[in-house]
């Protein structure tokens, strides 16, 4: 007869433990998929961290391209560079891409930087299909969008409010 109270206690403990685990997993899944555009007062820019994850290659079994290198170098809490190399598994050409993300304290500061560094080519205005999807990253439509890139869109600079992305690309044929 004394086994029943012990069994009841064990069942209650298991129930509490399973509810605790369920509560933890539910709260972590409800996290927002957009990142903050606030300029950091301490620590790394969440906007840059999100952009890095957005450009991170994801190899799929059906793709002809496989990641050969993905390196991130934090220059400061508001600037990082990313180097990406992918190899074409059919031609064995290596595509290299270098990106620099800079989070400025204001849109005006970013515009000043953009204006002084827009010598990537003949295109001006919005860089359609640019290196990142700002709206998907932040959930916001930028108030200022500037872009300049070469004829193929392989090299360029883009400004989205206080955020500037610079990109250079090259292909090494084998």
Whether the pLDDT of residue 100 is over 70: the answer is yes
The average pLDDT across 88-113 equals: 94
99 closest CA partner among 67, 130, 131: 131
H helices of the chain, in order, are 3-29, 46-55, 107-116, 134-138
Please list, residue by residue across 88-116, b when 16 or more beta carbons sit within 10 angstroms of its beta carbon and e when fewer do.
beeeeebbebbbbbbbbeebeebbebbee
Sign of torsion over alpha carbons 34, 38, 44, 48: positive
pLDDT score, position 166: 93
pLDDT band at 62; cut points 50, 70, 90: confident
Q: Which letter does DSSP use for residue 38 in this model?
A: S
The average pLDDT across 22-39 equals: 58
Whether the pLDDT of residue 29 is over 90: the answer is no
pLDDT score, position 114: 92
Strand, coil or helix: 100: strand
């Amino acid at each position: 007869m004394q086994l029943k109270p012990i069994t009841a206690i064990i069942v209650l403990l298991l129930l509490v433990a399973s509810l605790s685990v369920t509560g933890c997993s539910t709260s972590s899944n409800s996290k927002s998929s957009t990142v903050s555009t606030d300029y950091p007062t301490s620590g790394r820019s969440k906007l840059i961290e999100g952009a890095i994850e957005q450009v991170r290659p994801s190899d799929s079994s059906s793709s002809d391209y496989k990641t050969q290198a993905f390196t991130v170098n934090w220059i400061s809490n508001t600037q990082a560079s990313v180097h990406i190399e992918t190899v074409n598994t059919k031609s064995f050409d290596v595509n290299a891409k270098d990106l620099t993300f800079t989070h400025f304290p204001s849109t005006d500061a970013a515009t000043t930087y953009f204006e002084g560094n827009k010598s990537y080519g003949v295109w001006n205005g919005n860089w359609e299909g640019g290196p990142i999807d700002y709206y998907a990253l932040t959930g916001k439509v930028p108030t200022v969008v500037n872009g300049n890139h070469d004829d193929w869109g392989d090299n360029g600079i883009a400004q989205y409010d206080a955020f500037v992305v610079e990109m250079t690309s090259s292909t090494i044929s084998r």
